[in-house]
Amino acid sequence: MNPGVLSAGARGLPLAENARKVLQPAPSEPLTVPMPLPVRHSPVERWLAWRWSAWTSPLLVLAVWIAVTALQLAPEQILVPPLQVLAAGWELIESGELREHVTVSLARLVSGFGFGAVAGIAFGLLVGLSPRLDAYFAPSFQVLRQIPSVALIPLFILVFGIGETFKVVIVAKASFFIVALSVHDAIASLPARYLEVAAVLRFSRLQVIRKVVLPAIVPATLTGIRIALGRSWMVLVGAELLAAENGLGQMMEMARQMFRLDIVMVGVVLTGLVGLALDRTFRLLEAYLMRWQRR
Amino acid sequence: MKPDSRIDKQRRLAGLFALALPALLSSAHAQAAEPLPDALRIAAVSRTGPSGKTVFAGSSALVAEQGWLAAELGKLGVKLEWVPVTTNSVAVQVNEAFANKSIDFAQYGDLPSIIANASGLHTQLVVPGGSMNNTYLVVPANSNARSIKDLKGKKIALHRGRPWEFPFSRLLAANGMTQKDVRILNLNPQAGASAVASGSADAFFTLSDAFLLEDKKVGKIIWSSKQAPQDWKMRAELWGDSAFLKKFPQLAQLVATAYVKAHLSVAGEGGREAYIQHEVSAGQSRRLIEREWEGDNTDWHARWAPLFTPELRAHYAAGAAYAQQARLIGRPLDTSRLYAPQFVEQALVQLKLQNRWASR
């Protein structure tokens, strides 16, 4: 323990006040001592400190988009002006089409990702806890994990047909490997002293898992799940582009066939926004579940 | 150092001028005679031939082989470029290429052209005729369906916006059905074939690739457009960028003449066999081509007629009406401005063929 802190507390001084005293000159000191100059922030720094500064790059992209379309640097059928995209989006919302596509896509994501993540956690735990299983599965796991999900689409279509199964399976595949790997690695990097303490306390194997391993791997697992969620979304939209009756990806593919690039842009923007929303929501969930760590 | 560098500068200026002079002169010369483009680009369906090189399908292959167009354009200092597009997504590739001005002509289908023009592109039909493909309805080999009527409520694979969608709508309508009576799976021909082969689609509407499924014993054809009325056939013909046609009518004329010459040679004596030879060298199987024509009620000679007939105009008008009704296009399209018949007319006069196809 830091004796300084202890002594400050012993003198009944609030710690924060003590800290401030170190930083600021005491009022009793002569005024001749130069006050520290107010730190000059450059415009860039001030801009970055502004709470809306996160909008800089989206607004820049939008400005470039508007400029390019206004100056007609690209054919209007291909790079549609933002207002027209907005109008197309509104039209899709009003007709209920967009809602249907997004709902279907999200339903596929939730079911596929649910399967994949649960299976991934289970598999990660098994191979993480049992070196023998790890030795059995590691080679095939490492090979399979390197195959991009998108490359498996044609094969999956042949095996599972073009129905819902194929999309759910491909999303599950995309999430499974990322989650399993993060769980496995989290267990592998568990500090040895945790287990030593558990051994001293004579924990049973089940107790070790419940009281030591599981709580310790939560942060890494959550991060893995969040990354897997983003990846699954991308893979799903890709799969829908190729074979689906509906869904956001299919909406884009169909619009491309109908030469409606405005609808394609609606799909592109929406895919990005949904991905962002998923990521942000999961970060909030992560922060909530990890709130004990900040105490 | 200074005087030296001044001399250097002067010399450099003189050099620049000497370099620029011919360029200036030639550009002045060119301006007087309308600057021609460096290249004329025609998009055509291509396949990978048995020898591994890209070969074009249909009359474009004949035009390429005859070499007349390349030679005539060469005389004007214009290079002829063939732009290959793959069968899986001709419509999308060609329309996007027309939009970003990377092609001037394309040999492709009716419905995609309607879609392009309805979304603000301006293209015109330059040389009609040549390709009136039959369309086929294929079901899995073990299916009990005997006609489209048996497929009510079933899943049918169809690549939307492709030229065979219109014949499909005609087939439905003739049987008192609409698209709402079936579930359309929007799949490209490759995916559609594997869908019907794996049984995850109950039927597949496509072109002569249907025979390949029959040959592999995974599908059977239960309907073809062979005996159907002529306007049920899909059309794929030569389209040009309107701006290009207006700007370089002399080049467009050469292209039109070349295609009419190709049509003439195929429609004539021994042309049919020569055409088969071409398609075979382009990777198509001979049996497939023969079966595609077997029992077809289209007259061979009439198939190649490069004429803007009332039937053709009616076909496009009906196609546009269908596209709007099926919500493939957002606004009605006046098809009367889709035609540029002056080039074919001129070509027929040049080649003294005014009466060749006049019997129609």
Where does residue B128 rank: exposed (0-12), middle (13-18), buried (19+ CB within 10 A)?
buried
CB < 8 Å to A242, chain B? 191
Minimal Cα distance from A164: which residue of B? B200
Alpha-carbon Rg for chain A in angstroms: 27
Q: Given an 8 Å threshold on Cβ–Cβ distance, is A243 in contact with B187?
A: yes
User: Are the beta carbons of B182 and B151 closer than 8 angstroms?
Assistant: yes
Phi-psi region of B249 (alpha: psi -120 to 50; beta: other; left: phi over 0): alpha
3-state secondary structure of B48: strand
- In this prediction, residue B282 carries a pLDDT of 75
Mean pLDDT score of chain A:
83
3-state secondary structure of B239: strand
Residue A183 has which token pair?
């769980």
Q: Tell me how far apart the alpha carbons of residues A65 and A62 are, in angstroms, rounded to a whole number.
A: 5
Q: Given an 8 Å threshold on Cβ–Cβ distance, is A257 in contact with B200?
A: no
Tens digit of each residue's pLDDT (9 = 90 or more) over B303-320: 888 999 898 999 999 999
Alpha-carbon dihedral angle through residues A175, A114, A92, B330, given to the nearest 10 degrees:
60
Tens digit of each residue's pLDDT (9 = 90 or more) over B209-234: 899 899 989 999 999 988 888 778 88
Measured from the Cβ of residue B150, the count of other Cβ atoms closer than 10 Å reads 14
Cα A269–chain centre separation: 17
Q: Tell me how far apart the alpha carbons of residues A20 and A280 are, in angstroms, rounded to a whole number.
A: 36
State how far residue B299 is from chain A, nearest Cα, in angstroms. 32
Split into its structural domains, chain A has a count of 1
Using pLDDT thresholds of 50, 70 and 90, give the confidence band for residue B277.
confident
Q: Given an 8 Å threshold on Cβ–Cβ distance, is B185 in contact with A162?
A: yes
Q: Taking Cα atoms as reference points, which of B189, B165, B169, B191 lies closest to residue B180?
A: B169
CATH number at residue A286: 1.10.3720.10
Using pLDDT thresholds of 50, 70 and 90, give the confidence band for residue B69.
very high
Percent of chain A with pLDDT over 70: 86
User: Are the beta carbons of B327 and B293 closer than 8 angstroms?
Assistant: no
3-state secondary structure of A122: helix
CB < 8 Å to B153, chain A? none
Higher-confidence residue of A244 and B342: namely B342
Where in the sequence of chain B do the CATH 3.40.190.10 domains occur?
39-132+235-350, 136-232
Q: Is B103 on the interface with A (CB under 8 A)?
A: no
State how far residue A55 is from chain B, nearest Cα, in angstroms. 31
Model pTM score = 0.75
How many angstroms separate the Cα of B330 from the Cα of each of A167, A269, B118, B320, B321? Answer: 31, 22, 7, 11, 11
- In this prediction, residue B9 carries a pLDDT of 55
Q: Given an 8 Å threshold on Cβ–Cβ distance, is B159 in contact with A257?
A: yes
Residue A17 falls within a domain, yes or no?
no
Q: Is B194 on the interface with A (CB under 8 A)?
A: yes
Q: Given an 8 Å threshold on Cβ–Cβ distance, is A157 in contact with B198?
A: yes
Q: Tell me how far apart the alpha carbons of residues B326 and B179 are, in angstroms, rounded to a whole number.
A: 9
**Residue in B101, B115, B200 nearest the CB of A258:** B115
- Look up residue B51 and give its amino acid: S
Q: Is the pLDDT confidence value at A13 over 50?
A: no
Minimal Cα distance from B117: which residue of A? A259
Q: Is A162 on the interface with B (CB under 8 A)?
A: yes
Q: Given an 8 Å threshold on Cβ–Cβ distance, is B99 in contact with A257?
A: no
Q: Tell me how far apart the alpha carbons of residues B286 and B270 are, in angstroms, rounded to a whole number.
A: 16
CB < 8 Å to A254, chain B? 160, 186
DSSP classification of residue B46: E
Domain assignment of residue A268, given as a range: 85-294
- In this prediction, residue B156 carries a pLDDT of 94
Which of B17-31, B209-223, B278-292, B346-360 has the least mean pLDDT? B17-31
Q: Answer positive or negative: Cα dihedral of A185, A187, A190, A193.
A: negative
Q: Given an 8 Å threshold on Cβ–Cβ distance, is A258 in contact with B328?
A: yes
Q: Is A9 on the interface with B (CB under 8 A)?
A: no
**Chain B interface, best mutation among A165, A257, A260, A264, by max B CB count within 10 A:** A257
Residue A66 has which token pair?
């508007």
- In this prediction, residue A4 carries a pLDDT of 39
CATH dotted code for B136-232: 3.40.190.10
- In this prediction, residue B48 carries a pLDDT of 74
Q: Which residues pair with B183 in a beta bridge?
A: B155
Q: Is the pLDDT confidence value at A31 over 80?
A: no
Using pLDDT thresholds of 50, 70 and 90, give the confidence band for residue B148.
very high
Q: Confirm whether the ipTM is greater than 0.85.
A: no
Mean pLDDT of B114-124: 92
Q: Is the pLDDT confidence value at A6 over 50?
A: no
Q: Is the pLDDT confidence value at B94 over 90?
A: yes
Q: Which residues pair with B136 in a beta bridge?
A: B206, B224
Q: Tell me how far apart the alpha carbons of residues B156 and B137 are, in angstroms, rounded to a whole number.
A: 9
Q: Given an 8 Å threshold on Cβ–Cβ distance, is B160 in contact with A254?
A: yes
Tens digit of each residue's pLDDT (9 = 90 or more) over A74-98: 777 778 888 888 998 998 899 888 9
Tens digit of each residue's pLDDT (9 = 90 or more) over A107-120: 999 999 999 999 99
Q: Tell me how far apart the alpha carbons of residues B169 and B322 are, in angstroms, rounded to a whole number.
A: 8
Interface of A with B in 222-251 (CB under 8 A): 242-243, 245, 250
Q: Tell me how far apart the alpha carbons of residues A187 and B32 are, in angstroms, rounded to a whole number.
A: 79
**Residue in A75, A158, A242 nearest the CB of B198:** A158
Minimal Cα distance from B92: which residue of A? A257
What is the CATH class of B39-132+235-350? alpha beta
State how far residue B186 is from chain A, nearest Cα, in angstroms. 7
Using pLDDT thresholds of 50, 70 and 90, give the confidence band for residue B327.
confident
Q: Is A69 on the interface with B (CB under 8 A)?
A: no
**Residue in A78, A161, A254 nearest the CB of B99:** A78
b/e for A58-94, b at 16 or more Cβ within 10 A? eeeeeeebeeebeeeeebbbebbbbeebeebbeebee
**Residue in A78, A250, A253 nearest the CB of B100:** A78
